């Protein structure tokens, strides 16, 4: 069928305004936040109701049209780069919060609801939705589920997966599949909601998502510890956990990151430091006081050059503003920013950091490292220029080696950014060929024509 005829078919479902096909529309949705080549779709569809997602998916399946569902496109692994000539389906029109149940501590949302807006609405009702990925100001909840987005609070509160109670989604036939429940316990049938988590749009098209909510902590305290040696900082991370303190946030910035962040934010970070830890404990006020005191003692014992607790809400905001700007600050340094996501058991953080620094030296590239030290989830960020082929080749070699180091430390390729198109070729190293085969058998049964976001997670050879 010609593109124009297909457009007419889609218009019957979503209306004339819901089908975008100008050159500029198509190019706008040809890339995401990953450092990968764009691919131009043939049509962009913008449904206005979740019910339209069923017929849209069915139509794609009937015509064997590759279909990529896109929220805000903040994906860092190419999960929302469309298949060339395929269809992009936008969820930003599907942004209703359908229910926030204060008695039963859950919410039901459409997939296009923006993460931070949802968290704010939940907070207004005196409740708490903890997952806070770096892109939360624009990222959507559907995308968060599809990628199992993490964030700064993963250590104590877990990641998106830990808040998914159920998902209703459309299969390739356009039929609605129901999984999970509004109850906190549910074992009715396969854990299909769990299967959707991190499936990157390859197994179904989300209609509604039920999220667990929790009561918010009554108090919190943020601290900054400064180190003249990054090893001491990473030892401190391990010591805090070993002392059975579970901060809600335990973040590290290395020297390179600190320099760029301070230049960008003027937050007052100590630019001479080799590393800083940003630590926040929360909970009952007495617990917060106890934990904060213990954290300060541990930092001092291991050799922090200073430890400072934020005394005001403003001071606290300033610390987190600095951390949240680590990526934008680093991204300003060079034309290309390769943000890595290899993750290790947290006790291996010192070894991982040493490994990354050796790799930076070996390949003569600039790497700024920051991230969720408490989760073992660091983001070594390579500052480079993709147009410089010789340099970018060294970058690719370095990324390879970063994965090797993470796996040798019993870590994983990706803590929270997903596999997408960026990392599928490394999957077999961490898992096994049998694991890919098992996944592929499942995928082919669920999506025989391979229309659901093809080329993501598993490289089909």
Q: Considering only residues 193-252, where is the footprint of a second copy by CB under 8 A?
A: 194-195, 197-199, 203, 214-216, 238, 241-242, 244-246
Close Cβ partners of 109 (under 8 Å, ≥ 6 residues apart): 96, 97, 98, 118, 141, 208, 209, 211
Q: Which residue has the tokens 């600050």?
A: 329
User: Please, what is the minimum distance in Å from the beta carbon of residue 330 to a second copy?
Assistant: 21
- The binder of a second copy chosen from 25, 388, 430, 459 (CB under 8 A): 430
CB 106 within 8 A of CB 127: no
Close Cβ partners of 89 (under 8 Å, ≥ 6 residues apart): 44, 45, 46, 47, 53, 56, 67, 68, 69, 70, 205
Closer residue to a second copy, CB minimum distance, 14 or 164: 164
- The binder of a second copy chosen from 17, 64, 126, 268 (CB under 8 A): 126
Residue 131 makes contact with a second copy by CB under 8 A: no
Given the DSSP bridges, would you call strands 87-90 and 43-45 parallel, antiparallel or unpaired?
parallel
- The binder of a second copy chosen from 16, 123, 137, 162 (CB under 8 A): 162
d(CA 223, CA 333): 27
Secondary structure class of 36 (helix, strand, coil): coil
Contacting a second copy within 347-386 (CB under 8 A): 347, 372, 375-377
Residue 343 makes contact with a second copy by CB under 8 A: yes
- The binder of a second copy chosen from 3, 37, 48, 188 (CB under 8 A): 188
CB 449 within 8 A of CB 172: yes
Closer residue to a second copy, CB minimum distance, 25 or 287: 287
- The binder of a second copy chosen from 412, 421, 452, 454 (CB under 8 A): 412
Question: What is the per-residue binding string for a second copy in 16-55, x denoting contact by CB under 8 A?
Answer: ----------------------------------------
Closer residue to a second copy, CB minimum distance, 46 or 156: 156
Question: What six digits make up the tokens of 200?
Answer: 């990157």
Residue 345 makes contact with a second copy by CB under 8 A: yes
Closer residue to a second copy, CB minimum distance, 38 or 283: 283
Kindly state the number of chain residues that form the binding site for a second copy, as judged by CB under 8 A: 92
Q: What is the CA radius of gyration of the chain?
A: 22
Contacting a second copy within 263-292 (CB under 8 A): 283-287, 290
Q: Tell me how far apart the 2 most distant CA atoms of the chain are, in Å.
A: 71
Determine the distance from the C-alpha atom of residue 317 to the mean position of all C-alpha atoms in its chain, rounded to a whole number: 22
d(CA 155, CA 139): 21
Residue 400 makes contact with a second copy by CB under 8 A: no
d(CA 237, CA 373): 7
The one segment of 187-195, 253-261, 296-304, 328-336 that binds a second copy by CB under 8 A: 187-195
Residue 78 makes contact with a second copy by CB under 8 A: no
């Amino acid at each position: 069928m010609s593109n124009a005829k297909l457009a007419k078919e889609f218009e019957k479902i979503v209306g004339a305004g819901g089908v975008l096909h100008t050159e500029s529309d198509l190019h706008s949705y040809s890339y995401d936040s990953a450092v990968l080549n764009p691919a131009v779709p043939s049509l962009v569809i913008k449904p206005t109701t979740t019910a339209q997602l069923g017929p849209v998916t069915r139509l794609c399946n009937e015509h064997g049209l590759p279909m990529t569902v896109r929220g805000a496109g903040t994906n860092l692994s190419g999960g929302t780069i469309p298949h060339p000539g395929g269809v992009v389906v936008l969820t930003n029109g599907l942004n209703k919060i359908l229910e926030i149940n204060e008695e039963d501590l859950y919410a039901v949302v459409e997939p296009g609801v923006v993460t931070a807006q949802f968290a704010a609405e939940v907070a207004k009702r005196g409740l708490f939705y903890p997952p806070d990925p770096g892109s939360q100001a624009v990222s959507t909840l559907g995308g968060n589920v599809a990628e199992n987005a993490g964030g700064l609070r993963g250590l104590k509160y877990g990641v998106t997966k830990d808040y998914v109670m159920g998902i209703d989604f459309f299969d390739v036939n356009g039929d609605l599949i129901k999984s999970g429940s509004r109850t906190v316990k549910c074992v009715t049938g396969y854990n299909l909601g769990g299967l959707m988590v991190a499936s990157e749009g390859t197994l179904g098209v989300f209609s509604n998502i039920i999220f667990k909510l929790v009561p918010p902590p009554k108090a919190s305290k943020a601290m900054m510890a400064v180190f003249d040696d990054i090893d001491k900082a990473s030892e401190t991370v391990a010591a805090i956990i070993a002392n059975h303190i579970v901060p809600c946030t335990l973040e590290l910035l290395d020297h390179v990151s600190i320099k760029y962040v301070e230049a960008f934010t003027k937050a007052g970070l100590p630019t001479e430091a080799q590393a800083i830890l940003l630590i926040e404990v929360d909970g009952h006020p007495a617990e917060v006081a106890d934990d904060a005191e213990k954290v300060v003692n541990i930092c001092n014992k291991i050799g922090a050059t200073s430890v400072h607790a934020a005394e005001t809400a403003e001071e606290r905001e300033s610390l987190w503003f600095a951390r949240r700007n680590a990526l934008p600050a680093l991204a300003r340094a060079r034309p290309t920013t390769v943000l890595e996501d290899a993750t290790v058991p947290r006790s291996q953080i010192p070894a991982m950091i040493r490994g990354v620094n050796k790799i930076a030296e070996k390949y003569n590239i600039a790497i700024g490292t920051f991230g969720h030290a408490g989760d073992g989830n660091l983001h070594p960020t390579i500052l480079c220029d993709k147009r410089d082929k010789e340099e970018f080749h060294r970058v690719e070699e370095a990324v390879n080696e970063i994965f090797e180091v993470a796996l040798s430390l019993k870590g994983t390729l990706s803590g929270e950014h997903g596999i997408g198109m960026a990392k599928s070729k490394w999957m077999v190293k961490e898992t096994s060929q049998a694991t890919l085969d098992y996944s592929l058998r499942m995928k082919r049964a669920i999506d025989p024509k391979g229309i659901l976001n093809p080329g993501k997670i598993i490289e089909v050879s």
